[in-house]
Homo-oligomer: A and B are copies of this chain.
Amino acid sequence: MKKVPLLEIFGPTIQGEGMVIGQKTMFLRTGGCDYRCSWCDSAFTWDGSQKPDLMEAQEIVTQLEAKGGSLFSHVTISGGNPALHDGLGEVVRLLQEKGIQTAVETQGSFWKEWMTDIDEVTISPKPPSSGMQTNWEQLDTYIHRLKGRQKKQVSLKVVIFDETDLSYAAEVHERYPEVEMFLQTGNDEWSTAENQWLLTHLLNRYEWLVEQALHSERLNDVKVLPQLHTLLWGNKQGV
């Protein structure tokens, strides 16, 4: 039985981003990432500042139930990059047996077979501002494997910090026009505890991104979203 390194189990709360924004859900946050994005807002999953617990699938499900009780029917797996961990396949299987829906987010750099069992997969390729490179052929294969599943969805989400990121997003959208596409404002102030200032700042960033998308013909069929949890709770971890 392969163990999974976990940094957080929390909820129920609201999914603040992307294709199921607003969804009532529990969160699992796995440790470890193969990327080092310059603006990573969950660097604590890989920079050694927080120590993960190595847990077996059944133990993870038991903890989810201890925290969520009867108040959830949806679990979101986040990271780090969850696709590093084989052991999540068993977690997903156990949750499905209980009729619980699952969602995951990954940058698409590693493939795991359990990915095909997930109800809502968000692939978030990283734009130039992250300092990372996109392997396009790998991304092609990834998306191809997840498209056209029965009653299961896949979407793309690109976090945008500047105009170079925007044209990268347009390139992604043009390469996969049939995949639902989300643009999201990045949080470049993830260490401040000044919530009122942060709120105004984030809404200004969001308005900027909306304006950019509205004026770009390449971005006609996109959805532009903020991070709702950050608007509500600032930079607090575990909500």
A-to-B contact residues, CB < 8 Å:
12-14, 20-24, 70-74, 101, 182, 199, 203, 206-207, 210, 213-217, 219-226, 228, 231-232
Interface SS majority for chain A = mixed
Complex CA gap A12/B211 in Å reads 10
Complex CA gap A221/B101 in Å reads 9
Query: Which one of B22, B219, B226 lies within 8 Å of A24 (CB-CB)?
Result: B219
Complex CA gap A231/B202 in Å reads 11
- A223: B residues at CB distance < 8 A: 20-24
- A231: B residues at CB distance < 8 A: 203, 231
Given contacts A21-B225, A22-B225, A225-B21, contact A70 B217 (CB under 8 A): yes
Question: Is B73 a contact partner of A220 (Cβ separation < 8 A)?
Answer: yes
Given contacts A206-B232, A207-B232, contact A182 B214 (CB under 8 A): no
Question: Is A224 a contact partner of B24 (Cβ separation < 8 A)?
Answer: yes
Question: Is A24 a contact partner of B213 (Cβ separation < 8 A)?
Answer: yes
Question: Is B217 a contact partner of A71 (Cβ separation < 8 A)?
Answer: yes
**Chain B residue at minimal CB-CB distance from A69:** B217
Given contacts A22-B182, A24-B213, A24-B219, contact A14 B224 (CB under 8 A): yes
Please give 5 more A-B residue pairs, beta carbons under 8 A apart, in addition to A21-B223, A24-B220, A203-B232: A12-B214, A14-B224, A21-B225, A24-B219, A199-B199
Question: Is A21 a contact partner of B24 (Cβ separation < 8 A)?
Answer: no
